[in-house]
Structure 1
Amino acid sequence: MNDIAGESTGQGPDFDRALAGRDPARACVLLAHQPVQIHEAVRHHVDLQLSGHTHGGQLWPGNLVAAAANPTVAGLDRYGDTQLYVSRGAGAWGPPPGWAPPPTSRSSNSRRGRPDRDRLAHAVEEL
Structure 2
Amino acid sequence: MDVEFFIEHDGSGRRFEPVVGACFEPDDAVLLWESRLTGVTVEELRRRGEPRTLAPMADGYLGFVFSARLCVALAAADQDRLDEVAEEWAEQEAGLGDPDAISARTAVEILRGVAALARRRRWVYCRCW
Query: Under TM normalisation by the shorter chain, which class is it?
Result: under 0.3
Please say which structure displays the higher CA radius of gyration. 1
* Greater RCO, 1 or 2 (C-alpha within 8 Å, sep 6+): 2
Between Structure 1 and Structure 2, the one with more helix by share is 2
Q: TM-score, normalised by structure 1?
A: 0.27
Between Structure 1 and Structure 2, the one with more strand by share is 2
Q: TM-score, normalised by structure 2?
A: 0.27
